[in-house]
Chain A
Amino acid sequence: MSCLIVQSDKTLLLEVGHERAGECRKAIAPFAELERAPEHVHTYRVTPLALWNARAAGHDAEQVIDALISYSRYPVPHALLVDVAETMARYGRLRLEKDPVHGLVLTGTDRAVLEEVLRSKKVQPLLGERLSADRVVVHPSERGTVKQLLLKLGWPAEDLAGYVDGEHHPITLNEDGWRLRGYQREAAEAFWHGGSGVVVLPCGAGKTIVGAAAMAHARATTLILVTNTVSAHQWKQELIRRTSLTEDEIGEYTGTRKEIRPVTIATYQVMTTRRKGVYRHLELFDARDWGLIVYDEVHLLPAPIFRMTAGLQARRRVGLTATLVREDGREGDVFSLIGPKRYDAPWKEMENQGWIAPADCVEVRVTLGDGERLAYAMADPEERYRFCATTPSKIRVAEALVRRHPDDQVLVIGQYIDQLDELGEHLNAPVIKGETRIREREQLFQAFRDGEVRVLVVSKVANFSIDLPEAAVAIQVSGTFGSRQEEAQRLGRVLRPKADGGGARFYSVVSRDTVDQEFAAHRQRFLAEQGYAYQIIDADDVLAGD
């Protein structure tokens, strides 16, 4: 009996408890995306993108088929094998290459494919002169768009046109009192050898450091794109601490400051600001001869940035993310514009190695009072979630939960400002929300880090990229309609390794029999699929435990 079952819908089921599960995972990981990782059986999915990622990483169809056949418990459907071979053969039939005379050319090893592509109405205007039966000129500015379109046509092009080196700038890692972890080194090297691409690491695994290591490889001027201002500060501090860069060499390009320096950190928000329909800050991309562009949280990359990136295909790009899943389904654009996946490591495995803290997830169900239920039934549909998510009962439960963990640093996370203010009052804790000034925020975070503040109430501004190392407990009272991504980010808040090596706890307080519970079901599924222990308890038990 082997450990893998190949399903007809191209999912692979891996029995984790099996003795060969480890080697099998290694064999299938290059060409299958891990979709779910609950306790006993992990689900991988073989998608065209995953197969092309494998091709880009140098695997061929023979290896894939061999892995499937040798690990599969039951005969592998013939049709699936044929499909794998055919899909993989599609990658690399077309290549983008550099030509000394014509600049950029599209070459086809299969004339029929090239003809098919050339006949596409969308591709035609992007191409220039036909040099021979197998070669056609591509306008250098359309390199990204061509790749995007070819992927949509099902013939992803292999980009061999290379990169410009950019303006040289010395950057080295400054391993003083810390070491680059093994997987961080592997991730940075995998990226560097691949040229461009995406590194997938769970929250808390030190993606910033992978970014720094990539910069040390490139030793060139770098543009870093991050989600928000706080995150930009975070990056700056990390870079000063981990590399040879000094404060003067790093510029911030945010809403308040517009500095352009050898290493510049810009926010997505600034880049996508428009005035009179024009992107005002586009010139930043051309402000220097950048040798490397780092995209933080690639899964959140806004659509305009994709368009801008399409024009930057000659520069090295590295994307950092916790998940390739995008709520908008634009995984294909990430593949063609940023690059194929170069490295990933499963969340759970990092946890086992002690790089991130183990977490227990607990859902606490609060019962609405009779009056509340009546009001809930009468509420307008669009108001319903807000109503049940902000029930006063949750505040009592949150208080009880905070009392349960008297010695831990606790984060209380919510969506609605009124509720957060109320919580702040009841818990006697400071509140960080959108209107809180940056300086004040940072002071509070520092105080929290130093242990001066034990409980912090935060709105969704804290969702991304802030480093709160000692938060051992998170209590979520309301969220953005059960978004999977938000859940991953919030959980990431408590996953940083703790000084005492203890586990983290993640509470969600949910109103029973309401839409809140429905959204919670989505989150529960997501967390359980990520392999976290999940428990549901009644609020009465929490309150009675007091």
Chain B
Amino acid sequence: MSTEFTEWLRSRDDEQLRALVTVRPELITPVPAHVEGLAGRASSPSAVARVLDRLDRFTLAVVEALVVLPSPTGYRALRDRMARALPEGVAAPALRVALTETVERLRTLALVYGPQTAPTPAPGVREVLETPAGLGPPAVEVFRHHPAERLSELIRDIGGADAAGAARPPKETLAGLLGDPATLTRLLGEISPQARSALDELAWGPPSGRVPNARREVRAAAAQSPIEELLARALLGATGEETVVLPREVGLFLRGGRIHRDLSPLPPALTGVARDRGLADRTAAGQAFAFTRAVEELCERWSVEPPGVLRGGGLAVRDLKRASGLLDLPEWVTGLVVEVAYAAGLLAASGGVDGDWLPTSAYDVWRVRSTEDRWGTLAAAWLATDRVPGVIGERDERDRLLNALHPDLRRPAAAEVRAATLGVLAAAGPGVAPTAESVGERLAWEQPRRRGARRDRLMAFTLREAEQIGVTGLGVISGHGRALLRGGRAEAMTRLAPLLPEPLDHVLLQADLTAVAPGPLTGDLRRWLALAADVESTGGATVYRFCERSIRRALDAGQGADEMLAMLERHSTTPVPQPLGYLVTDVARRHGRMRVGTASSYIRCDDSSLLDEVMADRRAIPLRLRRLAPTVIASGTPRSALVDALRAMGYAPAAESLEGDVLIARLDARRADGSTSPRPTATFNGPEADVVAAAVRAVRAGDAAHRSRRAPVGAPAGQVPRSPATATINALREAIRQGSQVWIGYLDSQGNATSRILEPARLEGGYLTAYDETRAAVHRFALHRITGITDVTDIN
């Protein structure tokens, strides 16, 4: 651990440290005990790799240049190097500004330390960037394991003085020779054109190649092949049995002193069709409406006909196809609907081994809210989820089918790529729908270390899904989508609301027994129509069809004929067509004329001829009917089968209880227990400001104790008053926010009651991270073991 780096970090003021942990929140998870810990964590390879992954191409290039150049590098030298890779058009002042800003940003990220004029890469950076800008390791590294005799041979072959008597170790002599442009120019002149072209292949990276028997020891005079020519002149070095690498000095020379081929301090421009923004917003809103509706329709259906949970988790292909048919959407969109509903916590698996996918109780809360509000929930869940609906139906590396809702649909990078892709769309000019290629190029510039086929796929998924959900319209990010991306859910909703169609409270009734709702309906009317009619077509409008079966369903649910006619009249702008009125009364006339009991299973009917009819019907033979009285028939068939059979015969029986009341047959909507909804993944807007502040405070306090060996404060005598768990959590939150100390009662791991004075820093996952004054160290405390809490001021 570099003490210089630690000292530099310690010298940063609180605000700078807060800025650091805000952009690199992983550094305070958990909160380190002191600045030394913080420095250690900041320079660990994984943490460095993580932050490098987030750098754009220009910033990364600056880091690479600093790694390649001898450190500490003068600022001027850095600028000269960078300037060589820039396109002609970029003026020196523009570069100066860009470079100053970039170096400052790297200092904020603690990737670079030291003074502004002589920036130095932080420890760990060099190790992570093994081949900076595609350059091989320095000659000293390449030839480290070569035996001394071999090195002298090489030095002699490339025209250096015999190193036997030299003071410097041979590999440094060799490195010095390779670092000399004159030597390299001469060596390159000696080799054959084939060898030269092999070198040119490696010049712009990757800097290594594979050859058999790489470690062969060849003298320049005896070289047989181009590779041997190069190996004999140390223009290539063997780093393994079969790998050769281009030493960095040679690479830099071949590149003409440039570290990067071409660079731009500005991201590539986004190109695409320009659309009318209003139209794009409206299209997105239309899609938002359709998507929200699809989720609702799916949940409603699954309330009564839930699909089973597969043994391996997930949803059967058959069930997805069925849902796709129900929603009239392609399968991939259906997969998206299912996954987003799941991510939003509206769907969950319930009931153990033979479980079902059921809407949760959160769904009941969700469905009564306004459309824009419902959309906000869905879109936010989609943004944050680490699951990738796009891969549904594909096979994983072990050739297993990836089903919707399967646990294996998670991809750690999903949410980040999604946010980055949408960020790119948001950066496009107003109304511009960037092409997928141009979005891809921009992403490659913004996060060059993440480029690859996998990210390109995630990006493509994001683009098509955003269109389906209504975050974009016609490829242009919508106003509400933009607001949502900024984290302003309320703003997104207010922007979306006026674009959505007004809910209507009327329909158009027609003589062909259809009802057309020329827009979305108010909740009550919609539910009533869903009961009394079948949906025939959906979209901006909904077409309902009344038929005997649907009317009977409403009657079964306890509606009366008069009530239904009144409802129709109230909500129709035109007179109720005569055939529709006739249908309702006609079905009601027949409905319930026949009654069927449970316990003994009987049929009774005041109309004895109707029973004659049933008894005479040949189809009734399997029902094992026996006439009890002119108006009653008993049956040996269970009631439900009997009812079905009678209906199939064309009757309209109603079920009745033993007391003679009509049973109301309504499908009860079912709900999941709601314990297995997915945990929302971390947000990407960084941690909350007060958490950051508290964490920095804790590190500072711990650091002070660490350096001065601050003596532990004695725990005050007396018992901490017991307090309820919610009060404890609230008090801790308050203390974190204010940065104040608290006195807690705590059961340690042996179960002993102790009392501590704490400076709470962070509350997360059932644990409290705090600076413990009584132990003079940062500790984690299990919340359930905290018995009570009180203000320190109360001690006295």
Contact = CB atoms under 8 A, between A and B. Distances in A.
Contacts of B537: 7-9, 11
Interface string A516-536: 000001001100110001111
Interface stretch (A36-44, A118-126, A211-219, A432-440): A36-44
Nearest to A375: B616
Contacts of A39: 510-511, 574, 577
Contacts of A373: 609, 613
A112 interface: no
B510 A38 contact: yes
A352 B637 CA distance: 58
A528 B286 CA distance: 31
Contact of A378 (B290, B518, B616): B616
Contact of A534 (B279, B287, B511, B574): B511
Contacts of A344: none
Contacts of A330: none
A525 B512 contact: yes
A133 interface: no
Contact of B328 (A9, A36, A73): A9
A9 B579 contact: no
A77 B290 CA distance: 9
Given A7-B541, A75-B473, A533 B511 contact: yes
Contacts of A529: 512
Interface string A345-372: 0000000000000000001000000100
Contacts of A533: 511
A43 B577 CA distance: 18
B283 A78 contact: yes
B257 interface: no
> Which among A41, A73, A373, A524 has the highest number of chain B CB atoms within 10 Å?
A41
A40 B612 CA distance: 45
B615 to A, nearest CB: 9
A287 interface: no
Interface residues of B, number: 45
B649 to A, nearest CB: 8
B616 A374 contact: yes
A78 B541 contact: no
B610 to A, nearest CB: 8
Contacts of A513: 590, 650
Contact of B283 (A75, A378, A535): A75
Contacts of B286: 74-77
B677 interface: no
Interface in B377-407: none
Given A13-B541, A73-B518, A8 B512 contact: no
B181 to A, nearest CB: 55
Contacts of A73: 518-519, 540
Contacts, number: 119
A533 B577 CA distance: 9
B501 interface: yes
A528 B290 contact: no
> Which among B537, B590, B612, B614 has the highest number of chain A CB atoms within 10 Å?
B537
A377 B616 contact: yes
Interface string A69-86: 000111111100000000
Contacts of B519: 73-74
Contact of B287 (A7, A77, A521, A535): A77
A360 to B, nearest CB: 12
A205 B81 CA distance: 86
Interface in B501-529: 501, 508-514, 516, 518-519
Contact of A536 (B282, B578, B618, B650): B578
Interface in A500-521: 513, 521
Contacts of B6: none
Given A8-B539, A378-B618, A535-B579, A38 B512 contact: yes
B617 interface: yes
A15 interface: yes
Given A75-B287, A377-B616, A7 B518 contact: no
Nearest to B518: A5
Interface string A31-50: 00000101111010000000
Contacts of B285: 75
Contacts of B283: 75-76, 78
A348 to B, nearest CB: 13
Nearest to A40: B508
B574 A40 contact: yes
A373 B543 CA distance: 36
A337 B577 CA distance: 42
A6 interface: yes
Interface string B577-619: 1110010000000100000000000000000010011101110
Interface in B15-63: none
A287 B501 CA distance: 65
Given A77-B290, A513-B650, A536-B578, A528 B539 contact: no
Contacts of B650: 513
B287 A78 contact: yes
Contacts of B295: none
Contacts of B614: 377
Interface string A52-93: 000000000000000000001111111000000000000000
B361 interface: no
B474 interface: yes
A41 B543 CA distance: 10
B574 A528 contact: no
Contacts of A378: 616-618
B774 interface: no
B324 interface: no
Interface in A1-36: 5-9, 11, 13, 15, 36
Nearest to B499: A75
Contact of B579 (A6, A11, A72, A524): A524
A5 B289 CA distance: 14
A41 B467 contact: no
B579 A536 contact: yes
A528 B511 contact: yes
B539 A374 contact: no
Nearest to A371: B609
A374 B608 CA distance: 12
Contacts of B518: 5, 13, 15, 41, 73
Contacts of B328: 8-9
Given A370-B609, A377-B613, A513-B650, A13 B510 contact: no
A374 B613 contact: yes
A77 B512 contact: no
B526 to A, nearest CB: 16
A365 B328 CA distance: 38
A374 B609 contact: yes
A76 B286 CA distance: 8
A8 to B, nearest CB: 4
Contact of B538 (A8, A41, A377, A525): A8
Interface in B251-303: 279, 282-287, 290
Nearest to A533: B511
Given A5-B518, A38-B514, A513-B590, A535 B609 contact: no
Contacts of A521: 548
A478 B266 CA distance: 81
B618 A525 contact: no
Given A75-B286, A77-B539, A524-B512, 17 more contacts: A6-B539, A9-B538, A13-B518, A13-B541, A15-B518, A38-B511, A41-B510, A73-B540, A77-B290, A78-B283, A78-B287, A363-B579, A377-B613, A377-B617, A528-B511, A528-B512, A528-B579
Kindly list the 8 A-B residue pairs having the minimum CB-CB distance in the complex, ordered from nearest: A75-B286, A7-B539, A74-B540, A528-B512, A38-B510, A528-B511, A5-B541, A8-B539
26 contacts: A5-B539, A7-B539, A9-B539, A13-B518, A15-B508, A36-B512, A39-B511, A40-B516, A41-B510, A41-B516, A73-B540, A75-B279, A75-B282, A75-B473, A77-B287, A78-B473, A374-B616, A377-B614, A377-B617, A524-B513, A524-B579, A528-B511, A528-B512, A529-B512, A534-B578, A534-B579
